[in-house]
Structure 1
Amino acid sequence: MRQILLCAALTTSLALLSGCTLSKTKADTAEDAPGKAAYHKISAEEDYEMMVSQEVVVVDVRTREEYDGGHIENAVLVPNESIGSKMPETLPDKEATLLIYCRSGRRSKDAAQKLLALGYQSVYDFGGVIDWPYELVKEG
């Protein structure tokens, strides 16, 4: 009987420990490796707070036509398709905080990961402009 109780206690402890390990978030992972760049997914509201409270570079990774149709004020256009193995000329500072967006969130995630691979250190993906509750500006 004692062995059964000991086995049950051990099994419960292992289950709890493995549950704790599996519950780590992306933010936890980023904190575990200080000094290493990591992918950060944030909301449009968090993005807006960063825009008004600190120096950031807002990066639109859509096409020129989409950008001209309406974009976030002061956003830099760097189409996702143009991000390759070289640092984009319009983003010369790899230490700058970059806030990336596209139309729906697919291209922004792809672009954010490519920029991290190029050595950018502070990259935040806030998804698609379709979820942006604030004003957009249009060219022309």
Structure 2
Amino acid sequence: MRKKLTGIVLAGILGCMMVLGACSAAGKGESETGTEPVSAAGQMQEADEAYHKITAEEAKKMMDEGGVTVVDVRTAQEYTDGHIPGAVLVPNEEIGDEQPSALPDKDAVLLIHCRTGVRSRQASDKLIKMGYKNVYDFGGIVDWTYETETGEASN
């Protein structure tokens, strides 16, 4: 009885391996258009590679080194009341399907923030879906202990 059960289990495992191997080999071909299909997992991996959650301290260091665009995704009134010097105003609610004119370079390093971190994550996700490749979310200005200024946006 024991030998018979072992044989059945081994046959089942071998059968599963053959089925999985056949499915794997079939999935390696190109599509009819000659291009590789992009899977949902592939899109998620690209999004994960584009999105970076950092601290306000890390953002400040990157700003000091230069070569970054600081993006404030709060409302115009919130921006006027106090913002990080040099920040570009791109309100989260205005980020839709079209690329924001204030952010022409999809390869630029973007440092995204809002008031508490909720809108910065939403905006980051939307920008990544548009094709931005270097999105750094440093949360909210409530955690920003460095210089701020008041006044309207120049963009």
Question: Does the pair score TM above 0.5?
Answer: yes
Give the whole-Å Cα distance in 2 for the aligned partners of 1:46 and 1:70: 20
Offset, 1:54: 2.8
Contact 2:50 2:132 in 1 (8 A): no
The number of equivalent residue pairs is 108
1:42 and 2:42 correspond: no
The answer to whether structure 1 residue 85 and structure 2 residue 97 are counterparts is yes
Which residue number in structure 2 is paired with residue 101 of structure 1? 113
Cα shift readout 1:89-113 (whole Å, capped 9, x = no counterpart): 0000001000000000000000001
One-letter code of the match for 1:78?
Answer: V
Moved over 2 A (4+): none
Structure 1 unaligned spans of 5+: 1-32
* Amino acid paired to 2:126: K
* CA distance in structure 2 between the partners assigned to 1:64 and 1:54 by the alignment: 25
Structure of greater Rg: 2
1:134 maps to amino acid = Y
1:118 aligned residue: 130
CA distance, structure 2, for counterparts of residue 54 and residue 64 of structure 1? 25
Q: In the TM superposition, what is the alpha-carbon distance from 1:39 to its structure 2 partner?
A: 1.3
Q: Alignment partner for residue 61 of structure 1, among 73, 77, 94?
A: 73
Q: Could you tell me which amino acid in structure 2 is paired with residue 39 of structure 1?
A: Y
Asked whether the 8 Å contact 2:68–2:109 carries over to 1, the reply is yes
CA contact (8 A) 1:41 1:124 kept: yes
**Aligned-partner Cα distance in 1 for 2:80–2:109:** 24
SS in 2 for 1:59: strand
Query: Residue 55 of structure 1 contacts residue 97 of structure 1 at CA under 8 Å; is this kept in 2?
Result: yes
The 8 Å contact of residues 80 and 111 in structure 1, kept in 2 or not, is answered as yes
Report if aligned partners of 1:37, 1:116 keep a CA contact under 8 Å in 2: no
User: In the alignment, which residue of structure 1 is the partner of 2:146?
Assistant: 134
Distance in 1 between residues matched to 2:121 and 2:74, nearest whole Å: 12
CA distance in 2, matches of 1:103, 1:117: 22
CA distance in 2, matches of 1:61, 1:38: 18
Other-structure match for 2:86: 74
Which residue of 2 is the match for residue 21 of structure 1? none
Deviations 1:31-90 (A, max 9, x none): xx68x8421100000000000113000000000000000000000000000000110000
Q: What root-mean-square deviation, in Å, do the aligned CA atoms of Structure 1 and Structure 2 show?
A: 1.8
Report the Cα distance in structure 1 between the residues aligned to 2:151 and 2:120, rounded to whole angstroms: 21
